[in-house]
Structure 1
Amino acid sequence: MYAVFKRELFSFLSSMVAYITIGIFLLVSGLLLWFFPDTSILDYGYAEMGGFFSLVPYLFMFLIPAITMRSFAEERREGTYELLITRPITLWQIIFAKFLASLVLVFFALIPTLVYYYSISKLGFPEGNIDSGAVTGSYIGLFFLGAAFTAIGIFASSLTKNQVIAFVVCAALCAFAFLGFDYTSQVSALGSIQGNVSSFGINQHYTSMSRGVLDTRDLLYFLSFTMLFLLFTRLTVGGKR
C-alpha cells in the first residue's frame, strides 16, 4: 500500500498539474480574501475569517476534482490499470493509497493559508483579537470536507478513463452534496421533513464545525460520507476487475 501511495503522491508532485492547481487555489483565495470589494476582509473591518471559510468549499469544488481526476482514469488510459490490480495488494489498499495521496495534496494546499490567519491576527485591534477556536474548528471542518470531496473524486475517476469526464462528474457531485440538499429542503411540499432533508447535506455539518464546536455527530457524518464513496469506488473497481 505504501508503494502505491508513494508512487501516486510523487506522480502528482513530479507534474506541473498539482503545482498549477494549488497555485490557482491560493491565488484566487487570496484575491477573494484581500482584494475583491465584496469579500475583502479589509473592507469588512472585522478580524475574523468567516468569509474565507465560506468561500473555500466552492474553490474545493474545482481544486479537488483537478487533483483526483487522474487517480483511476489515467491508469486506464495508459494501460497500467491491469498491472496495478494484479499486484499482491487488495483493492481496498489501492483505493486507500490513492485516496490518502490526494488528501495529502489537499492538506498541502491548506497549509499556506495559515498565513492569512497570522496576518489577520496581527491586523486585529488589539493585536491577536481573533477567535482562534472558531478558526481551528473551521480548519478541521475544511479537512473533513476535503476528505469527503476527495472520496467523491476517487469514485468519479473510477467510472471512466477520461479525465475531463471524471472532473465534471466530481464537480457536479461535490456541488450537489454541498448545496443540493439545502435547495431541496426549501421545497414547500416536503413540509415537516425539510429540516431532516438539509441534515443529509454537507453544508449544515460543515457550518456547524466552523463555529468552533466539534460535535461527534458532525465527525461521524463526514467519516460515514467518506467511507460510503470509498465503498462505491470499491464496488466500481471490483466490478470492472
Structure 2
Amino acid sequence: MLAILKKEIRSFLNSLIAYIIMIIFLTGMGLFIWVFPDTNVLDSGFADLSTLFYLAPYVYMFLIPAVTMRTFAEEKKAGTMELLLTRPLTDWEIILGKYLASFLLILFTLIPTLVYYFSIYNLGNPAGNVDSAGVFGSYIGLALLGAVFTAIGIFASSISDNQITSFIIAAFLCFILYAGFSSLTSINAWGEAAYIINQLGIDYHYNALSRGLIDSRNVVYFLSMISLMLMATKLVLSSRKW
C-alpha cells in the first residue's frame, strides 16, 4: 500500500493537477471571504468563517472528482491496470493507496485556510471573539466530507476508463448524496418520513458538525459512507475474476 501511496503522490506532484487544485480552491475561497460583496467578512460585521464552510462543499463537488478521476481510469486507458493487478498487492492495498494519496492532497488544500481563521480571530472585537468550537467542528466536518467525496471519486474512476466520464459520475454522485435528500424532503409528500430521509443526506451530518458538537453518530455516518464507497470499488475490481 505504501508503494502505491508514494507512487500516486509523486504522480500528483509531478503534474499540474495538485497545484491547480490548490490555487483554484484557495483563490476562490479567498475572494468570497475577503473580496466579493454580500459574502465577505469585512462587510458582514461578523467574525466567522460561515462563507468558507457553506461554499466549500459545493467547490469540492468539482475539485475532488478532478483529483480522483485519473486514479483508475488513467491506468485502464494506458493499459497499466493489468500490470498493476499482477503485482504482489491485494486489491485493498491498491484501493487504499490511491484513496489515501488523493485524500492527503485534499487535506493539503485545507491547511492554508487556517490563515483565514487566525485573521478573523484577530479582527474580532474584542480579539478572539469568534466561535472557535464551531470553526474547528466545521473543519472536522469538511475533512470528513472531503474523505467521503474522495471515496466516491475513487469508485467513479474504477467503473470507467474515461477520465471525463469518471469526473461527471463522481460530481453527480457527490451532489445527489450531499444535497439530494434534503431537496427531496422539501416536497410535502413524505410526512413524518421526511426527517428520516433528510438524515440520509451528507449535508445533514455536515451541518451538525458545524455547530461544534462532535456527535459520534455523525462521525459513524461519514465512516460508513467511506467504507461503502470503497467496498463498492473493491467489488468493481473483483469483477475481473468473475
If the length of structure 2 is used for normalisation, what is the TM-score? 0.98
Q: Tell me the distance in 1 between the aligned counterparts of 2:209 and 2:80.
A: 40
Q: Tell me the distance in 2 between the aligned counterparts of 1:172 and 1:240.
A: 26
Partner of 2:98: 98
Residue 25 of structure 1, CA deviation: 0.9
Q: Is the 8 A contact 2:32 2:51 kept in 1?
A: no
Instruction: Determine if the alignment matches structure 1 residue 74 to structure 2 residue 56.
Output: no
Q: Is the 8 A contact 1:22 1:63 kept in 2?
A: no
Partner of 1:185: 185
Q: Tell me the distance in 2 between the aligned counterparts of 1:12 and 1:157.
A: 16
Partner of 1:231: 231
Q: Tell me the distance in 2 between the aligned counterparts of 1:239 and 1:38.
A: 50
Partner of 2:58: 58
Q: Is the 8 A contact 1:179 1:201 kept in 2?
A: yes
Q: Tell me the distance in 2 between the aligned counterparts of 1:63 and 1:43.
A: 28
Instruction: Determine if the alignment matches structure 1 residue 9 to structure 2 residue 13.
Output: no
Residue 129 of structure 1, CA deviation: 1.3
> Structure 1 regions of 5+ residues with no counterpart?
none
Partner of 1:176: 176
Q: Tell me the distance in 2 between the aligned counterparts of 1:186 and 1:154.
A: 30
Q: Is the 8 A contact 2:157 2:166 kept in 1?
A: yes
Q: SS at 2:89's partner residue?
A: coil
Give the AA of the match of 2:43.
Answer: D
Q: Tell me the distance in 2 between the aligned counterparts of 1:134 and 1:76.
A: 43
**Alignment size in residue pairs:** 241
Residue 223 of structure 1, CA deviation: 0.2
Partner of 2:152: 152
Q: SS at 1:206's partner residue?
A: helix
Give the AA of the match of 2:112.
Answer: P
Q: Tell me the distance in 2 between the aligned counterparts of 1:204 and 1:39.
A: 23
Give the AA of the match of 1:91.
Answer: D
Partner of 1:134: 134
Q: Tell me the distance in 2 between the aligned counterparts of 1:18 and 1:235.
A: 28
Q: Tell me the distance in 1 between the aligned counterparts of 2:214 and 2:53.
A: 16
Partner of 1:216: 216
Give the AA of the match of 1:77.
Answer: K
Q: Tell me the distance in 2 between the aligned counterparts of 1:240 and 1:204.
A: 37
Output one character per residue of 1:21-61: Cα deviation in whole Å (capped at 9) or x when no partner. 21111111111111111211111111111221111101111
Partner of 1:110: 110
Q: Aligned-pair RMSD on alpha carbons?
A: 0.8
> Structure 2 regions of 5+ residues with no counterpart?
none
Instruction: Determine if the alignment matches structure 1 residue 205 to structure 2 residue 205.
Output: yes
Residue 63 of structure 1, CA deviation: 1.1
Q: SS at 2:125's partner residue?
A: coil
Q: Tell me the distance in 2 between the aligned counterparts of 1:10 and 1:54.
A: 32
If the length of structure 1 is used for normalisation, what is the TM-score? 0.98
Output one character per residue of 1:196-234: Cα deviation in whole Å (capped at 9) or x when no partner. 001000000000000000000000000000100001101
Give the AA of the match of 2:34.
Answer: W
Q: SS at 1:59's partner residue?
A: helix
Q: Is the 8 A contact 1:69 1:163 kept in 2?
A: yes
